[in-house]
A and B are shown apart, each in its own frame.
Chain A
């Protein structure tokens, strides 16, 4: 079945440093979504990417979808304490409504 892996599993950064998490699928995806889960909270939808090579930005967050539609990345510039949480990618295959979540990357910020 479809597998979605994320690296790294954990990331500790100094406040103000950049952060990147990578998402890799074993199969070609029809689209990819990103979610953020704050400690003690629930996942919150951030964005969806659909096109090959697509890049979208939300303030300090940059999302990319790979040309082969098998990988994606989330980059945060100049992290802040509010960025703390676990970031999940989630992908679906063509013709399959099920979303498969990645293993997540937990980001902690050192003030």
Chain B
């Protein structure tokens, strides 16, 4: 079966712009989480969605937001981009019981560069 699909793979944006990233989880996975990965900070948890509701949230500013649709697909949005937002954004899906019980399947990520 298909894995976790993230689009686009690469993005270059200018400071102050906004960006929307998309994630399609594995069929049957209803939990979708987003992580930011940078060389200096490692894997930082952004948020988790389940059944179109945010179930958990990390410590990121309100410029970072997300949503989940009824088909479990998820999007995350970053407004007013800053240089420090340059990172690999990873989406991960899990079975209904959550990643703490079943682990994550990660997508290939979206590499965002802010210039």
Contacts and interface: CB of A to CB of B under 8 A. Distances in A.
Contact of A98 (B43, B48, B105): B48
Given A88-B43, A98-B45, A100-B45, A45 B104 contact: yes
Given A97-B56, A98-B100, A99-B99, A42 B108 contact: yes
Nearest to B57: A98
A25 interface: no
A96 interface: yes
B90 A43 contact: yes
Contacts, number: 51
Interface string B50-91: 000001101000000000000000000000000000000010
A48 to B, nearest CB: 6
Given A42-B107, A43-B106, A98-B48, A104 B100 contact: no
Interface residues of A, number: 21
B90 A33 contact: no
Interface residues of B, number: 22
Contacts of A88: 42-43
B25 interface: no
Contacts of B92: 43
B95 to A, nearest CB: 12
B103 interface: yes
A44 B98 CA distance: 16
A99 B45 contact: yes
A104 B42 contact: yes
Interface of A: 30-31, 33, 35, 41-45, 48, 88, 92, 96-104
